[in-house]
Structures are given as structure tokens and as C-alpha cells.
Structure 1
Amino acid sequence: MSGTESSDYTQRLARLENAGIKRLLPTQAPYRWNLRRLRLGRVLDVGCGIGRNLLNCGPGSVGVDHNATSVATCRARGLTAYTPDELATAPDCGPGAFDSLLCAHVLEHMDETLGNTILEQYLPLVKPGGSVVLICPQEAGYRTDTTHVRFVDFAGLRAHAEKAGLDVARTYSFPFPRAVGKVFPYNEFNLVARKPRS
């Protein structure tokens, strides 16, 4: 997770949120729609950053992030977010407390072993039969951030899901077909899975 712990990283996320064309057009609308159509219910947003996705999750959703400045930014926006230590003792955040887990633009910031560990750490908080959504940037997006350490494509997402014992329901490229990800920095790999009921 090199470089993502600092307040500078939080400030970078805030700057990018409203940079360029984003000031004029609702560029996040397709991504909000993508989350909402998955009907994720109460979400645990792992690696929530400054809350871009958490803002679009269901009532009672909670973010967790290792960057305390990002967590503070979420709280300033009226969102519920914790550092990992805080989450461990937070009310209504115990085993099976969440309908789903979202891990968006996180796994590319760490090696495979740590990625597996993160999922293993937070999956117990998702109810049996709950959804797990993993999202990573495609090529053009991967190149935009120097804190990215590993390119995670469909095969990489599926490997994480299988290691975690999840049942993969589907994978898809969003918002455009896969080939577009080589030039469009906001194209994403999406994986939707289920936590087994037993």
C-alpha cells in the first residue's frame, strides 16, 4: 500500500474528484448507476478513500481505510468511516453485519498476498450469501497512479475471489467494452461474487 497512507494522498484524491471535465459534467453518474443496480444493501466499503463510492451505497453503509486523513474526510462528508482498529470495536459492525463488501480500486495498490489477507480480514463481516464486488482499473487507468504496484485483470480478480472461497457470479468491463480500457483511464474490471451460505 505504498504511498496511500499519507495526507498528501488524500489531498490528491480530493483534487482529482473535481478536476478537468468533472467540474462541468456528471462523470460519476455511470459509476453510481453501476453500484446501485447491483442492489448491495448495507455495504462495507473496504479502502473507501474519501468516500466517492460510499456516497452511493445503501443506508447504514460503512467505510474502512488505513488512511486516517481519508477517514476524517469521509466523516466530514457525513459518512460513517473507520480506520481498521476503530472498525474492530465499532457498533453494528461485527460478523455478518453487512449485506455486501465492496473493494474498489484497492487491490492494485498491494501485492497478491496482502490483497488476499485484506479480503480474509473483512469477509467475516459479510452475511452468508452476501455479495462481494471487486473493481480494478484497466490499463490506461492503471498507468495514472504511481501508487499502483500490480496490474489486476479479470484473472487476478478471479484468483482473489477463489482464494477467498467466493462463488463468482460474473465479470464484466465497465462502462465500455474491454478494448477501450487500453486508452480510456476510467474503464474498470468488475467482478461480482457471493459469499457461500455455509
Structure 2
Amino acid sequence: MKSELFCVYTIQTAVLETITECPVCGSSHFNPFLVCKDYLVSLQNFTIQECQACGFRLTNPRPDANSIGSYYKSEDYVSHNDEGKGVINMAYRIVRNYTLDSKLRLINKLNGRQGRVLDVGCGTGAFLESCKKGGWQIIGMEPDRDARTIAQKKLEAEIKPNLNALTGTKPVDIITLWHVLEHIPNLNEVIPQLHQLLERKGTLLIAVPNSDSYDAQYFKEFWAAYDVPRHLYHFTPTTIKPLFEKHGFKLVEKKPMVFDAFYIAMLSTRYQGGKTDYLKSVRIGLASNTEASRTGNSSSLIYQFIKA
């Protein structure tokens, strides 16, 4: 199946794996939560389940480590290329230029000075490029080979393929994961590694979509930030806090990412109706941010953690 709206890529038969234990609380009991379609690549349906004990949501079953890479092979996957076309990709890049400045201001404020920053899942290196220009010593990690090659050329620096390749690295002042945590399959292995790589008084910044937000509840299975099967987990403020607490982190603050509500709404209206409804996207984005000002449930949130 192929339409003028969605470029569908052929996926070889994926091997699916089933998660039998909740990464947050260890429970083995899950309820069906939602069935969503992969609109970016395959048009396959995937199930999101919810832990009966703690409410944590995850894509389950999901493609295994040898299959998941095929679901990223799209020219519309903007974090892994710098040349995606179309109005939505253009809007993404315009907003990204603004948010890069705000992220740099944030880490400058939190650290009080320029220092060492590690960006996990750095994509094509846009954030690290901003940090480098701002006087920071930069370290990057990116598992996607194509994106890593672009980043290394742009930054004139080596980008590591995984966290294991950073073993023995001098601890850093700031670690960032900008919309990366939801892609990481082995949370309870990676979070301790982040803890070890961070200075004693360092800061860990995690940005993820919030599946309890107004726009998530409005769009339901069409909410673009579910992004199955690339998004393995679907965090909320209630579930992310205990996950990091059990690995020695303390939640200090959470900050809204107001532009995400509009960008996600643009994609969601496209998935829902077959084409992007820009007026509706603005309306839902405004409604989501207005509701979030009361509840704290923004479409996406930045969580600031420190070592406990």
C-alpha cells in the first residue's frame, strides 16, 4: 500500500519480543491500553500495554534488536537527517533553532559555567554544535551509523556508538537525552551507566513525550508521539520519577516544552484525517498548553534529575 500522503517502506518480517516484567516496578501483569499504527514506515499495528501495578506504558510486543533499525529508515525521520522535506519538517527545523538556544541557556544556568556535556542519542549533532559554539567541551553518543557520520563531520569530533564505548571517560557535568529515553530498550542497564558517567553534583536532563497530556488524550491512537514501534516506552510524570529514583537519582524540577504540542498536533491531524489540518493543530496545541499550565501535563516535559 502506498499513497501520496505516506511513503511506506518495505520491512522484512520483524522478529517481535515480549516484555514480561515492568521496568519500573517489576510486575508481570499488563492490561491492553491502545493499538496504534506505525504511520512513518510500515503501516503495521502495535499494541501499547499498561502495567496493572504502577501504570507504566510500553509497546509490547516490540521488534527485537535486530529488527528495530528497519523502522527508522525514513527520510521523514528528522533527527537522523538534516534534509527532510515538507512543511512539517521545515517547521521542526525552525522551532529547533529556537529551542537549541533555550537548551544552551538552560545548561549554562544549571551548571553556572561552561563545562563538559554528554548528549546521548545526539542524532546529527545539532545540540552539541550549539554547545561547542557556546564554549562547552562536548561528548556525543549516537547508535545510528548514518546520523553518527553526519555528526562527526559537522562537529569534527568522534561520536561514540554506545555507552559502553564511554567506559573510563572522565565524569561530565551535564548529561542530556532529548527525546531519546523512549527509544532505549534496556532502561535498567542504561540508567545506572548514566549515573556513573555523571559528576557527583551533575545534572541529568531527560526530555520525553507525556502520554497523560491533553493532546495525547484528544488524539488517542492517532497521537503522533506514541510513534510505535520506535517509541518503546510512553512516560508520564507519575511513572518516570520512581524509575530514576530506584537508580539513585532525585527529581528536582520538570519544565514544559510548549512547541511540542503544536508539532505533535500537526502530525496527529495528518494521521487522523489523511492530511495536516494546520488550524486544528494550532487549536489543540493551545488547548494542550493551557491545560498543562493548570495540571503540569505538557505534551512533552524536560525532567531535571540530580544524584540523590
TM-score normalised by structure 2 residue count: 0.51
| Cα shift at 1:159 | 2.5
| Cα shift at 1:118 | 1.2
Structure 1 distance, partners of 2:188, 2:120, is 13
Q: Contact (CA 8 Å) 1:36, 1:57: kept in 2 or not?
A: yes
User: Match for residue 252 of structure 2?
Assistant: 169
Structure 1 distance, partners of 2:145, 2:129, is 18
User: Match for residue 43 of structure 1?
Assistant: 117
User: Partner of 1:66: helix, strand, or coil?
Assistant: coil
User: Partner of 2:248: helix, strand, or coil?
Assistant: coil
| Cα shift at 1:5 | 7.5
User: Number of residues paired by the alignment?
Assistant: 190
Q: Contact (CA 8 Å) 2:175, 2:204: kept in 1 or not?
A: yes
| Cα shift at 1:143 | 3.2
Pair 170,71 (structure 1): closer, same or farther in 2 beyond 3 Å? same
The one-letter amino acid paired with 2:169 is G
| Cα shift at 1:88 | 3.1
User: Match for residue 143 of structure 1?
Assistant: 226
- Alignment of 1:191 with 2:303, yes or no, is yes
User: Match for residue 133 of structure 1?
Assistant: 205
Q: Which runs of 5+ in 2 are unaligned?
A: 1-64, 211-215, 217-222, 266-283, 289-297
Q: Contact (CA 8 Å) 2:125, 2:155: kept in 1 or not?
A: no
Could you tell me which of 137, 143, 146 is aligned with 1:69? 146
Q: Deviations over 1:86-118 (max 9, x none)?
A: 8336xxx6142x11111121221245xx12311
User: Match for residue 193 of structure 2?
Assistant: 121
Q: Contact (CA 8 Å) 1:95, 1:125: kept in 2 or not?
A: yes
Q: Contact (CA 8 Å) 1:135, 1:190: kept in 2 or not?
A: yes
Pair 85,122 (structure 1): closer, same or farther in 2 beyond 3 Å? closer
Structure 2 distance, partners of 1:195, 1:63, is 21
After superposing on structure 2, the runs of 4+ consecutive aligned residues of structure 1 that deviate more than 6 Å are none
- Alignment of 1:26 with 2:94, yes or no, is yes
Structure 1 distance, partners of 2:251, 2:104, is 19
Pair 174,26 (structure 1): closer, same or farther in 2 beyond 3 Å? same
| Cα shift at 1:160 | 2.9
Q: Contact (CA 8 Å) 1:62, 1:79: kept in 2 or not?
A: no
Structure 1 distance, partners of 2:83, 2:69, is 15
Q: Contact (CA 8 Å) 1:42, 1:57: kept in 2 or not?
A: no
- Alignment of 1:87 with 2:170, yes or no, is no
Q: Which runs of 5+ in 1 are unaligned?
A: none
User: Partner of 1:43: helix, strand, or coil?
Assistant: strand
Structure 2 distance, partners of 1:10, 1:122, is 30
The one-letter amino acid paired with 2:145 is A
- Alignment of 1:153 with 2:225, yes or no, is no
Pair 94,192 (structure 1): closer, same or farther in 2 beyond 3 Å? same
Pair 144,171 (structure 1): closer, same or farther in 2 beyond 3 Å? same
TM-score normalised by structure 1 residue count: 0.75
Could you tell me which of 124, 147, 155 is aligned with 1:78? 155
Q: Contact (CA 8 Å) 2:160, 2:166: kept in 1 or not?
A: no
Structure 2 distance, partners of 1:159, 1:36, is 27
Q: Contact (CA 8 Å) 1:35, 1:56: kept in 2 or not?
A: no
For the pair shown, which has the larger CA radius of gyration, 1 or 2?
2
Structure 2 distance, partners of 1:123, 1:79, is 27
Q: Deviations over 1:8-66 (max 9, x none)?
A: 26873316766425537721144213312222542111121222332333522111122
User: Match for residue 8 of structure 1?
Assistant: 73
Structure 2 distance, partners of 1:79, 1:4, is 26
Identity of aligned residues (%): 19
- Alignment of 1:105 with 2:179, yes or no, is yes
